[in-house]
Amino acid sequence: MKVIVTYPGDRYSNKELLQVQNTTDSYVLHIWDVCDEEYVYWVNGLQNPPRYIVNDSLNLIELSQGYCYGANFWLEAEAAKYKNFLYCTNTTTDCIFNFMINKKQINRFLCMKLVEYFNLKDFSYTWSGIGESFDMEKIIAEKSRASLLPDDLYNEILSPIKTINQNFNMPNGLDIDVNYKNLPSIANYGDNWQVWNVVVKKMFETSAISLITESVRYSKSICFSEKTLFSILGLSFPIWVGGYKQAEEWKRSGFDAFDDVINHDYQHCDTLVERCYYAFKYNLEVLTNKKKISDLRELHKDRLLNNRKLILDNQLDKFNNSQINSWPLELQNAILPSIVSHFR
């Protein structure tokens, strides 16, 4: 069965995808990188929709109609690049939490606004400065479904970010467009492994908690990127701000999500704004009590180290293989060459 790969820049204009619409041929659509539900619905509405849809960066995307098979092959390939690095084995905590933000995305904007809203002070971060304001139309639309959120929260998130941007330059220098704040992200700042080694390694290693803002947008989808990887490598407790069932999925993938330290109940909330807000609200004690979270980090050091060992010892490969093995046999046979070509 033919496999057609679409990339972020050609999803709606991919020549192979448009050509197959003039046939009745069965084919598999391999969506490279994360996508939202609207794209899957568009694909399923084509004259000749794919027999199967596979996404290589989403573990799950919840759809009202249709189905998209997922596993995180991207993170599997990314984690393999970090196996030979040197890592700390101590859990000295200089600050309570960290976050890193480059691209302009809604849950990242909300994360920074909620840091301000709750008046949190003890953290380290990198932020490009992109996305200091955001169109909140969809968040306001969610308000009718978001129960018990305080009114002053909306006043806060409708205003621009006040936190000072804290960008970083790689050693070879970074030629930034003077209008970069109007861009969706800063590109060409280096590969992720370079960012880890040169810029954020110490930040993650000396923070007890990582506020992880994966590319979730408004869809009920699950992805894990270098942000989650960096938290595991740095021995910090993860909070997936805005993440839908991410802690649950991380455990299903074979890792510890530290449910006894972090309250991940936010992951089950219906709306994005609730999942962001309650990620903070439910965890305010550990986000403000440095001694407590430092002691907990030391207490659970072996578990943190074990998570790192797992991710460097191919746990993601094992999980992805189990995912593939659960798929229909004709899909397995069709998609494996594409997965191997791109990620293995």
Average pLDDT for 104-131 = 91
Using DSSP's 3-state secondary structure scheme, residue 61 falls into strand
CB of 42 closer than 8 Å to CB of 56: no
Q: pLDDT at residue 67 above 60?
A: yes
Q: Which residues contact 19 (CB under 8 A, 6 or more apart)?
A: none
What's the pLDDT at 190?
Answer: 65
Looking up tokens 């393999």 gives: 80
The arithmetic mean of pLDDT across residues 38-67, rounded, is: 95
- pLDDT on residue 182: 46
Is the CB of residue 75 less than 8 Å from the CB of residue 90? Answer: no
Q: What is the mean pLDDT of residues 46-75?
A: 95
pLDDT at residue 180, as a whole number? 41
Q: 33: left (phi > 0), else alpha (psi -120 to 50), else beta?
A: left
Distance, in Å, from the CA atom of 204 to the CA atom of 215, rounded to the nearest integer, reads 19
Residue reference for tokens 């859990």: 91
- % pLDDT > 70, the chain: 92
CA angle (310, 316, 317) in 5-degree steps: 115
Compute the average pLDDT of residues 139-162.
Answer: 86
Instruction: Rank 151-155, 160-164, 230-234 by mean pLDDT and report only the highest.
Output: 230-234
Which pLDDT belongs to residue 131? Answer: 74
Question: Given CA atoms 121, 123, 124, 129 in this order, what sign does their dihedral have?
Answer: negative
Q: What is the pLDDT of residues 300-337, one digit of tens each?
A: 999 999 999 999 999 999 999 999 999 999 999 999 99
Helices (H), the chain: 15-19, 37-44, 73-79, 106-117, 137-142, 151-157, 192-195, 201-205, 226-233, 246-252, 272-281, 284-288, 290-299, 301-312, 315-325, 329-343
What pLDDT is recorded for position 173? 45
Instruction: Say what the pLDDT of residue 184 is.
Output: 45
